[in-house]
Structure 1
Amino acid sequence: MDLFEDPAPAPQGNQPEYTVSELSGAVKRVIEGEFGLVRVRGEVGRVSRPASGHLYFDLKDDRSVIAAISWKGQLSRMQVRPEEGMEVVATGRMTTFPGQSKYQLIVEDVAPAGAGALMAMLEKRRAALAAEGLFDAARKKPLPFLPGVIGVVTSPSGAVIRDILHRLRDRFPRHVLIWPVAVQGQACAPEVAAAIRGFNAIEAGGPVPRPDLIIVARGGGSLEDLWGFNEEIVVRAAAASRIPLISAVGHETDTTLIDYAADRRAPTPTAAAEMAVPVRLELLAAVDGLGARAMRAAVSGVGLRGQRLRDLGRALPRLEALTGGAAQRLDLWAGRLGAGLGMAAARKRQRFEARAGLVRPELLLGLVMHRRRDLAEAAQRLGVAGERWAERRAARLEALGARLLPSLARVIGDALRKTREGRDRLVPLAARLEAAPAARFAALEQRLDALDRTRVTLGYAETLRRGFAVVRGDGAVVTGKAAAERAAVLEIEFADGRVRLAAGKGKAGGDGGQGSLF
């Protein structure tokens, strides 16, 4: 017995052998076959949504936990998304995940386990948003008395928009911008939030007028139908709106979370239009009434003031009594005015003549000579000061010139020194530059010789010299026994020549076949 031969395998039973993948596939088929479509009731726990958009969560009760997953496409069609702590009825199919050896439920739809669970989740969300201050009355904005442009967020094909436009035309026609959105289903919440943010993003004075008021409206429906207006994204968009917002979702008995975040809640869409604008005819009647009251007040005021003026006029004295004394005093002063003017002129003339006698030509000439001497002295002092200033400037200029020459000499010397140093560094660099091509060519030539030697060494001619041979059958290279047996003529190439043999006669002592050497 060969010592290196493997020992015989131990005998096995008649149980079949499975690979891991085969066993996992069999389990998968059994589970999917037995539980094709199931409805599972339980509490949602450990919700996770990675960047792929799929939703992973657990369904549990007091004793067991089942892993569940909803693909991105299935999640977009769900009316209600599962949240942690929510009791739901999940509809889907059971399958396995061989990569982790576990079974899981592929959930296609989720429904709350009764209206009580849905209301509990709604109350929990309302309390959380109220704790952030999104529902505070202090942050609510007053509605404009007469908005110029009204933005309406609703479905363009429903009766709601027709009711709003009809009521606006009846009360006070205004310019209306309609932002069409889905008011039910999975797309409702993101579209409504985007519409509110879009109205707020419109710039004032642009090609599209900016609304002065926003109305978010929808007709009545069940709690599930109105659920899109309970989503957190809608509530936050309404709370962050800089434009006053009226919520008109559902009927008067319907309440959604956007009603708490809005600046005003309307029981119906028609009531929202009534809140938005006043009645034009009532305003015109009020203006007419105020105008009539103003006219009556003006007439009455003028009459009362005329009567008062007449009453005061009767209490005044006669005109002659008021002006008689003043006229008498004027006549008295007019009679005394001529004599007074003559006496005043005589006194003025006397003082003038006294002072004119003091003014003589000699005094004027003396004053002129005195002023001329002062002017000459000032000119002399100015000339001396100018010469001194010029001398100081010249001396300063000479000092600066004396300081400039050494500095210029140093700069020129530094430039010459740097030029010499650069020339000294350039000489070896030039020598290296001249020698570099030759050295590079020599290195490349050596590398080429080495590659050529490698090519020759790896060629099949060198392999033949080491004792190997090439066998060809009918002109083609033979690599196996079967091909050699099928060939009519075999040709063996050695390092020093080739041998041609007939098929089946290559062995020594054969049936007389001869090989020819050539």
Structure 2
Amino acid sequence: MSDLIDDPSPGENAPEFSVSELSGAVKRVVEGEFGFVRVRGEVGRVSRPRSGHVYLDLKDDRAVLAGVIWKGVSSRLAVQPEEGMEVVATGRLTTFPGQSRYQIVIDDVKPAGMGALMALLEKRKKALAAEGLFDESRKKRRPYLPEIIGVVTSPSGAVIRDILHRLRDRFPRKVLIWPVAVQGERCAPEVARAIEGFNRLTPGGALPRPDLLIVARGGGSVEDLWGFNEEIVVRAAAASQIPLISAVGHETDTTLIDFASDVRAPTPSAAAELAVPVRLDLLAWFDNQEARLTHALTKGISDRGQRLRDLARALPRVETLLDGPRQRLDGWAERLPNALTRSVQLRRVRLYESTGALRPGLLRRAWESDRRRLDTAIARLSTGAIERDIERKSRDLTALSRRLSDAGTRQVQRWRERVDGLERLRETVGYEATLRRGYAVVRGDGDVVTTKAAAETASGLEIEFADGRLPVVSGGGSAPKRAKPKPDAPDQGSLF
């Protein structure tokens, strides 16, 4: 019986731990054995509290591993984890004693292969397209010739040199460069801030707001260009009030900023070509338009002059218009004396016939009847209405006279302005204006000389300047002054 009491039961000699001591021991063992691990799995639940930390689950078909990404690490990640993405997480295993569980503290997350990255890209593209950020109706028309161009790119790469070189060759413009990182974790936030910063500039300020933006980067892998697929960059490009040209990568590279921008260029050099026209082509176009305008004006004046001459030939001469009235006047002058004499005779005969039938009593009764009618008419007649009518018609006549005078004055003024305009046009088209600009007219033997051969065969030359004519003889000397021609002698060397 005593032997049974003195013999201790199995396990009673094992060390005794507190809960915290045991949890700490487990934590040290786990962290010592798995200080650095890489885990591949599918991202499950993702939680982003206000603290900025990211809590997630990594899972496969048989197990789930809890994970945490601290705030400082999350802000530096090139690719943010999203639910359903297959990733490779790098970090260290540890335990969380408060809930008796183990977890991985993640230091880096990368998509597990190109397929996962492209699947994430396609998912993000569909989500942004559903919001309408890629709609054609949102795209703005780029200016034909911008005064200031803003370029968002790396200041040390070959891209900015290519853009500046192409702009200098085609049409030099002012360029504002906003330096950014074009790959890595700093790429997306810096590019988004650059686009927003250019849009916040004041037009015409000390640092003027650009009329056009170019976001450019050279070629690279999908991972190198991933910053231009980030949501903040796409939203900044879609919200830009300044027209934006995307020139990221080579022609075969496609990023999400290409869909949100107003114009996509296959290369940075092509973006510079889209930004400005060719200056020499514009100058040639303007010269062509000037020549066409001059030809049209000259032809219009020539056609109207010919039309006026044709109409003048169709009009009859003044002498012809007066021949018929002059003959009729002569015929009426010859017939007038006889007509007057006959008219007097006829009236005299009617007077004799009327006086033969008159009697004193009949005349008295007729006179009294006419006198009564006259008194009645005088009593009924009122001069007030006549005077008012005369006054009203006088005012109307004065107003009409004033309007006629004003209309005549305006018509004369328009004719005067038109004559002045035609005179100015004549002086502009005439060769005298050309002489005043430094040109001269050469005449030989009284005719205008336009070739060297004609000048060599002429016995004497005469040069007309804006202020006079200078005779020239063979040998380079001046010819003796000629006697001034008579006023009625025509000038054989005149161009008109």
Write the distance in 2 (CA, Å) between the matches of 1:81 and 1:236: 17
Q: Please name the residue that 2:214 is paired with.
A: 215
Q: Quick one: distance in 2 between partners of 1:165 and 1:151?
A: 11
Partner of 1:167: 166
Q: Match of 1:226?
A: 225
2:123 counterpart SS class: helix
- Measured against aligned partners, the alpha-carbon deviations of 1:352-396 in whole angstroms (never above 9, x if no partner) come to xx9xxxxxxxxxxxxxxxxxxxxxxxxxxxxxxxxxxxxxxxxxx
Deviations 1:115-140 (A, max 9, x none): 01110110111111111111111121
Aligned counterparts, 1:59-458, within 5 A = 59-322=58-321
Give 2:462's aligned residue.
none
* Alpha carbons of structure 1 residues 34 and 322: separation in structure 2 relative to 1, 3 Å: farther
- Equivalents in 1 of 2:322, 2:141: separation in Å? 65
Query: Matches of 2:225 and 2:256 in 1, distance apart?
Result: 10
The residue identity in structure 2 corresponding to 1:122 is: L
Alignment partners' CA distance in 2, 1:145 and 1:326:
70
Q: Letter of the aligned partner of 1:139 in structure 2?
A: R
Per the normalisation by structure 2, the TM-score is: 0.62
Structure 1 position 327, deviation (Å): 9.9
Q: Cα distance 1:219–1:320, how it changes in 2: closer, same or farther (>3 A)?
A: same
Per-residue deviation, 1:244: 0.6
Residues 1:317 and 1:115: Cα distance change in structure 2 (over 3 Å): same
- For residues 451-470 of structure 1, the aligned pairs below 5 Å read none
Q: How far has the Cα of 1:322 moved from its partner?
A: 4.7
Residue 248 of structure 1 and its aligned partner are, at CA, apart by: 0.5
Aligned pair in 2 of structure 1 residues 323, 151: CA closer, same or farther (>3 Å)?
A: farther
Counterparts of 1:160 and 1:18, CA distance in 2: 66
Aligned to 2:17: 18
Shift of 1:51: 2.4
Deviation per CA, 1:201-241: give whole Å up to 9, x if none.
11223221111111111111110111111111111111111
Q: Report the Cα distance in structure 1 between the residues aligned to 2:223 and 2:171, rounded to whole angstroms.
A: 35
* Deviation at residue 72 of structure 1 after TM alignment: 2.2
SS at match of 2:134: coil
Mapped partners of 2:216, 2:306: distance in 1: 61
The one-letter amino acid paired with 2:194 is A
| Percent identity of equivalent pairs | 74
Deviation at 1:114, TM superposition (A): 1.0
Cα distance between partner residues in 2 of 1:213 and 1:318: 69
Aligned counterparts of 2:315 and 2:120: Cα–Cα separation in 1: 87
Between the aligned partners of 1:279 and 1:220, the Cα distance in structure 2 is: 26
Matches within 5 A, 1:4-15: 13-15=12-14
* Deviation, structure 1 residue 306: 2.1
CA distance in 2, matches of 1:326, 1:281: 70
Matched residue type, 1:159: A
Where does residue 454 of structure 1 map in the other structure? none
Letter in 2 for 1:240: A
Q: Deviations over 1:480-501 (max 9, x none)?
A: xxxxxxxxxxxxxxxxxxxxxx
How far apart are 1:320 and its partner, in Å? 3.3
Question: How many correspondences in the alignment?
Answer: 327
Cα distance between partner residues in 1 of 2:233 and 2:328? 91
Going from structure 1 to structure 2, the CA distance change for 1:96 and 1:329 (only over 3 Å counts) comes to farther
Aligned-pair CA distance for 1:66: 0.4
SS in 2 for 1:59: strand
User: 1-side partners of 2:208 and 2:48: how far apart?
Assistant: 40
1:44 alignment counterpart: 43
Partner amino acid for 2:172? P
Q: CA RMSD in A?
A: 2.5
The AA in structure 2 aligned to 1:132 is E
Separation in 2, partners of 1:43, 1:328: 121
How far apart, CA to CA, are the structure 2 residues paired with 1:301 and 1:229? 59
Q: Distance in 1 between matches of 2:111 and 2:245?
A: 30
After superposition, the Cα gap between the structure-2 partners of 1:219 and 1:326, relative to the gap in structure 1 and judged at 3 Å, is farther
> For the structure 1 residues 131 and 315, does the alpha-carbon distance in structure 2 shift closer, same or farther, using more than 3 Å as the test?
same
Structure 1 alignment gaps of length 5 or more: 1-9, 333-353, 355-518
- Alignment deviations for residues 413-440 of structure 1 (CA, whole Å, 9 cap, x no partner): xxxxxxxxxxxxxxxxxxxxxxxxxxxx
- Report how far residue 302 of structure 1 moved: 2.3
Q: CA deviation at 1:79?
A: 2.2
Structure 2 CA distance, aligned partners of 1:252 and 1:60?
38
How far off is 1:26 after superposition? 1.1
How far apart are the structure 1 equivalents of 2:122 and 2:328? 97
CA distance in 1, matches of 2:216, 2:110: 26
- SS of match in other structure, 1:247: strand
1:109 Cα deviation after fit: 1.3
Bigger Cα Rg: 1
Q: Distance in 1 between matches of 2:298 and 2:325?
A: 40
Cα distance in structure 2, aligned partners of 1:139 and 1:35: 52
Cα distance between partner residues in 2 of 1:303 and 1:148 = 42
Separation of aligned partners in 1, 2:280 and 2:195: 32
